[in-house]
Structure 1
């Protein structure tokens, strides 16, 4: 029996005291050679269609002048969705359920956006601190509120992704641990509920990847 419920997320696999769990982050690379086939499969065609759709949407968010930057956010979406999806497989470590991973993605992006914006578009960044039609007496308070909301952006990005991954995995673990103590009739209900929950988690894995990429794109568009 687990002494700690969250021990299922501990990176414990190792060889010669070298942790191997974080290597699961690179498992998505094994899908890329399939894109080089002379005759692509249906899955590759579907994935290419998704990438083209995301490219068009991110291009609209960034604007035509920053269209080349969409490759960064499409790649970010691919990395997160692969890690989220592979984490649903048995014995595969879910790196995106740790703040170490999600903050490593969100914080450098946010810092680069802020540095670029304040260095190259200082007046534009200052104008963002005071929304239009704000009454004069409320302007100092609005500046403080906007600054706080801007500072917590990388934290909200990281916590949102990690919390959603942890919540689904914990629920799957809790339901799975009750299996040995159930009768045959209840066990069939548990299996069905686990399958439905796994389908839900598969959708959450894609949705959270999309939300992370879209919000990052919106934050980038604000510094133009």
Structure 2
């Protein structure tokens, strides 16, 4: 019996008092067979086609003129990692690392900090000009500078909280619906199972969409410093 509803996000799996929760981040190395990368299979061709389409989209978002070779693959790798962890968290007894703010903030903060340092070190005039949107009346310029500065500082927080909140919300709903199962009749239990399956399909879509949103927003933030 859980004493706290949020304890489902922190399972106590350990070996010799060594926490093994965060090992779920590298489960892909054990699950994905090496033949996927060595032999051109259907899975490899499908994944390669998806990644090429995402590469084209990220390349368009960053900008053809300012893009550096290989920069899109950073965001593709970020999206793949988040999507894998989100989907793995839907399986029973697997630690959902992306539902913790420390994990999502660890991904968002270095990206935002590197973008800010690169922008202020190389494009100082552009970064100052970006604080005041074009067409702003002179009277509102001091307020716009304050608003834009605050919005820049909260960007890593909004990226992290968006991912964490979406992962927590779906898991909590699945848990709450599952806890009422033992007290239902067979008819209502059948209806509950159908609803759980539909909700699990929705959570699978949310897991993919949230990883895509995280990567796209990071791409847009990087395009603003060029």
TM-score range, shorter chain: over 0.9
Aligned to 2:167: 165
The reply on whether 1:192 has 2:194 as its aligned counterpart is: yes
Cα gap change, 1:32 to 1:102, in 2 (>3 Å): farther
TM superposition shift of 1:43: 2.6
Q: TM-score, normalised by structure 1?
A: 0.97
Q: How do 1:114-153 residues align onto structure 2 when only pairs under 5 Å count? A: 114-153=116-155
Unaligned runs of 5+ in 1: none
Q: Determine helix, strand or coil for the equivalent of 2:34.
A: helix
TM superposition shift of 1:28: 2.3
Q: TM-score, normalised by structure 2?
A: 0.96
- Aligned counterparts of 1:192 and 1:146: Cα–Cα separation in 2: 46
- Aligned counterparts of 1:181 and 1:88: Cα–Cα separation in 2: 24
TM superposition shift of 1:37: 3.4
Aligned to 2:46: 46
The CA deviation string for residues 29-48 of structure 1, in whole angstroms up to 9 with x for no partner, is: 332624323241x3322211
Contact 2:36–2:43 (8 Å) recurs in 1: no
What RMSD in Å do the two structures reach over aligned CA positions?
Answer: 1.1
- Aligned counterparts of 2:144 and 2:105: Cα–Cα separation in 1: 27
- Aligned counterparts of 2:28 and 2:59: Cα–Cα separation in 1: 25
- Aligned counterparts of 2:130 and 2:142: Cα–Cα separation in 1: 13
Contact 1:11–1:22 (8 Å) recurs in 2: no
The reply on whether 1:109 has 2:118 as its aligned counterpart is: no
Aligned to 2:92: 90
Contact 1:11–1:19 (8 Å) recurs in 2: no
Q: How many residues align?
A: 223
Q: Determine helix, strand or coil for the equivalent of 1:134.
A: coil
Q: How do 1:174-213 residues align onto structure 2 when only pairs under 5 Å count? A: 174-213=176-215
- Aligned counterparts of 2:86 and 2:159: Cα–Cα separation in 1: 15
Unaligned runs of 5+ in 2: none
